[in-house]
Amino acid sequence: MIIIIQCKDQIGLVASISRLLSQAGLNIVSMREHVDRTALRFFMRLEVDGNGNETELTRQLIAILPQGAEVHVNPVPDKKIAVLVTREYHCLSDILVRNEFGTLGATVSCVIGNHEILKRLCERFEVPFHHVPYDNRQNAAEHEVMDLLARYAPDFIVLAKFMRILSPRFISGFPHKIINIHHSFLPAFVGANPYRKAFERGVKLIGATAHFVTDDLDEGPIIAQQIIPVNHSHTVSDMVRAGKEIETAVLAAALRLVLADRVFVYGNKTVVFE
């Protein structure tokens, strides 16, 4: 059983929670906690052994925690994701392989693309693919995508190089549930063509960032990041090729953390228990 807690900080929280779990006959096998001293915010992730009533345990925990506490006991263990794509295959193919061999941490319910180029790839893995063209029909296309998502009811939406700006209306329907992979080490080079911008700036490091999507373009809470060195000999094409490898790795790392309930969001920041 996994227990996720986020609340206002106060003295004695760890002791109170541990005592309650002991009285419930639950053994703590893993516990991670963090206090943001600036925000006075407490975060905890526990794994416990034993038989317990999830609803009753949630009620008991809320009763001993500060007002407004967020408590989730055994969050959905078998999560589902929907993947939105455009033309690039590298992130999607990695997700589909992990899904095929049961190492993703979730099931890919469907793939939605605004081009059909990745349909055959999805068919090889027997994952439903839906083509929703966006050309000159942003609003209509978003309605179609939202209708599809309502049908599949995913726990998270993954933008695997979707390369489209989502409307505030769309984003508000999935708060902290949309995960994007951006091809730069944010906050550097937001928006389009970051590798060309990096080349023109003469940077010595490039990277990738996985983050939750908000109304502010490429500025949502960061989940995972990585960088690799480059130098004067790298062309834009060289950076793009190298970048694809790191994009795939960063998105995979972010999904592993999110799907295992190791990421807490507050404000525009995250606490990540790796």
CATH of the domain at 127: 3.40.50.170
For 226, the token pair is 């990585």
Q: What is the C-alpha separation between 206 and 185, in angstroms, rounded?
A: 6
Residue length of the chain: 274
Residue 39 and residue 9 in one domain: yes
Residue among 258, 195, 199 at smallest CA distance from 223: 258
Q: What is the C-alpha separation between 242 and 227, in angstroms, rounded?
A: 10
Question: Over the stretch 23-71, which tens digit does the pLDDT of each residue have?
Answer: 999 999 999 999 999 999 999 999 999 888 899 999 999 999 999 999 9
Least confident of 16-20, 87-91, 138-142: 138-142
Residue 16 and residue 150 in one domain: no
Q: What is the pLDDT of residue 195?
A: 72
Residue 25 and residue 152 in one domain: no
Sign of the CA dihedral with 121 first, then 127, 128, and 132 last? negative
Q: Indicate whether 196 pLDDT > 90.
A: no
Phi, psi of 234 (to 5 degrees): -75, 130
**155 assigned to active site:** no
Q: What is the pLDDT of residue 222?
A: 95
Q: Which of 49, 78, 135, 218 is catalytic?
A: 218
Residue 261 and residue 163 in one domain: yes
pTM, whole model, 2 decimals?
0.90
Note whether 26 and 49 are within 8 A (CB): yes
Residue among 45, 39, 78, 76 at smallest CA distance from 264: 45
Residue 11: give its domain's CATH number. 3.30.70.260
- Number of neighbours of residue 137 by Cβ within 10 angstroms: 12
Angle, helices 236-259/90-100, rounded to nearest 10 degrees: 30
Looking at 73, 94, 118, which one is the last position of a domain? 73
Residue 69 and residue 130 in one domain: no
Residue 23 and residue 119 in one domain: no
Looking at 73, 102, 133, which one is the last position of a domain? 73
Read off the pLDDT band of 207 (50, 70, 90): confident
Looking at 73, 108, 129, which one is the last position of a domain? 73
Q: 74 vs 31, 57, 89, 112, 113, CA distance in Å?
A: 14, 10, 33, 29, 32
Q: What letter does residue 188 receive in the DSSP assignment?
A: S
Residue 139 and residue 222 in one domain: yes
Residue 69 and residue 83 in one domain: no
Residue 164 and residue 90 in one domain: yes
Q: What is the pLDDT of residue 228?
A: 80
- Give the rounded percent of residues in the chain with a pLDDT score beyond 90: 73
Residue 111 and residue 153 in one domain: yes
Q: What letter does residue 221 receive in the DSSP assignment?
A: P
- Per DSSP, the three-state class of 182 is strand
Q: Indicate whether 193 pLDDT > 80.
A: no
Read off the pLDDT band of 187 (50, 70, 90): low
Residue 94 and residue 35 in one domain: no
Q: What is the C-alpha separation between 240 and 237, in angstroms, rounded?
A: 5
Q: What is the pLDDT of residue 69?
A: 97
Strand order in the sheet with 222-229: 129-131, 106-113, 79-85, 156-159, 178-182, 205-212, 222-229
Of the two residues 197 and 41, the one the predictor is more confident about is 41
Give Cβ neighbours of residue 193 (< 8 Å, ≥ 6 apart): none
Domain of 52 in residue numbering reads as: 2-73
Read off the pLDDT band of 14 (50, 70, 90): very high
How many domains does the structure of the chain reveal? 2
For 225, the token pair is 């990041």
Q: What is the pLDDT of residue 188?
A: 66
Read off the pLDDT band of 122 (50, 70, 90): very high
190: amino acid identity, one letter:
V
Question: Over the stretch 75-120, which tens digit does the pLDDT of each residue have?
Answer: 888 899 999 999 999 999 999 999 999 999 999 999 999 999 999 9
Q: Indicate whether 249 pLDDT > 80.
A: yes
Residue 225 and residue 253 in one domain: yes
Q: Compute the half-sphere exposure of residue 24: CA atoms within 13 Å on the CB side of its CA.
A: 23
- Where does residue 197 rank: exposed (0-12), middle (13-18), buried (19+ CB within 10 A)? middle
